[in-house]
Amino acid sequence: MKHLANVLKTALSVAAFFCLATNTAFAGNLSGKSANELAKMIRVGWNLGNSLDATGQGANAETSWGNPRTTKQMFDKVKEAGFNAVRIPVSWSTHVSNNGQYQFAIDGQWMARVKEVVNYAYDNGMFVIINIHHDNDQWHMFPSNQYLDQSKKYVTDIWTQVAKEFADYDQHLIFETINEPRVVGDPNEWYFDPSNPTASVSEAIGCINQINQAAVDAIRNAGGNNMDRLVGCPGYVGSIDGVTTNNFRAPNDKAQNRLWISVHAYTPYDFCMNPSIQNHSWDQKFYYDIQWLYNSIRDKVMSKGYPVYIGETSSSNYHNVEDRKQWERCFFGFSKEYGVPCFLWDNNQEFNQKDGAESHGYLNRNSLQWYEPSLIQTIMETLGYDPSSVKDEIANEWNAYAEGKTVRIKSNVEIKNVDVISINGAKIASLVSGRNECSVDVNHNGVYIVVINTENGKSVKKIIIK
């Protein structure tokens, strides 16, 4: 058993080496796609809320808000349910210090943990968004003229390090510059008149434009695949008003067609969150609020050539499951119709006793069961996906198995080519297929790495010939 364990460990090392000859995870080879093309590839996303964005300190920061340590099985469950994208909010500010090279140098242990969690989803072939999340304060990023230079320095330092760390990851990995940037403590912190913003909000909007620009420049200058990277940019407070107000400007980008616009929408607020409302029943009047949102996205942002994604949306649990399903049918129905991918906010709070507005628990991260499976099923049905078929789709995407001294490969899409790699890294066989099935003779016992290339990219499996 010990010998077999060592063989398997070596085989996995060979696979990792062959994929990219780096410590990078490998989800495929997605490249050259425009922002619009990538947006169309995202079915629907899920947020790992209140975990890596928790603002505790040290290695256990991700559990400081009460959620368990993140596992690969969580993302497996999310993908199994039909989500093909995840957003992993990340707070960095409690993990930085001045090391002489960077004023805001990221702790290596925290960077490694973020990377480990990203790989859980990336290795599943899912799209992954990471960002700068709860760092909106006067010591890190704060959108005012007084703190503008420091804010630009902060996002430049963070994104330079993060983009270099993930430089070899393909277009499955997406960056989001900042999260809900706003003037914390201002009377208009959360809401403002987009046609006539106050002086402080107007100043903040101008600063956000520059902060977004600094972040995009840092990403593009970091080398590797970062010129091909899709980057999301929000406006003031992440709202639709923040990106439709006249003062908002998308960054000038060295890359072509690699930007999209981030919007958060718990719409309508009275139904989705407002704790002062007693009755959270669905009313047809809410349809028009949601229609207005999507019309604004289409007419005021997408019409300028930028795709839009709703990075956070959800309806809080007020013990109104059937009403929430009505909301989902409306909200995600428009998502499908308008081509705006949405990411469901999940903070693992089935019901928040202190603040009903924050009851956005969908996946129980301890039991790995959905709190209310019918809510997830309703989303998938509205989008036109059958959740019951996803398991088979994942399991049968492709398979390699031994038959004597022959490796048989079957795929549900056309195989472009196959490589078989020995335990010592030598290429044993290579063939061009053009079919959904093929076979490779290896002639000897041992552990082998099978690498196939399809229209979905490259993928790797190990196989033992006995």
- Helix (H) and strand (E) counts in the chain: 12, 17
Please confirm, yes or no, whether 455 is among the known catalytic residues: no
140-149 in b/e form (b: 16+ CB < 10 A) is bbbbbeebbe
Give the closest residue to 169 by CA, choosing from 386, 350, 364, 23.
23
Three-class SS state of 399:
strand
Whether the CA torsion 184, 186, 187, 189 is positive or negative: it is negative
Please confirm, yes or no, whether 350 is among the known catalytic residues: no
CB 292 within 8 Å of CB 338: no
CB 226 within 8 Å of CB 167: yes
Which residue out of 62, 165, 176, 312 is catalytically annotated? 312
169: which 2 tokens? Answer: 């990851």
Which residue out of 62, 165, 176, 180 is catalytically annotated? 180
Give the closest residue to 120 by CA, choosing from 90, 166, 79, 174.
79
How far is CA 203 from its chain centroid? 30
Strand 369-370, strand 105-106: pairing = unpaired
Sequence-distant (6+) residues with CB within 8 A of 6 are none
Task: Tally Cβ neighbours within 10 Å of residue 33.
Answer: 17
> What is the C-alpha separation between 430 and 441, in angstroms, rounded?
10
Three-class SS state of 49:
coil
Active site residues: 180, 312
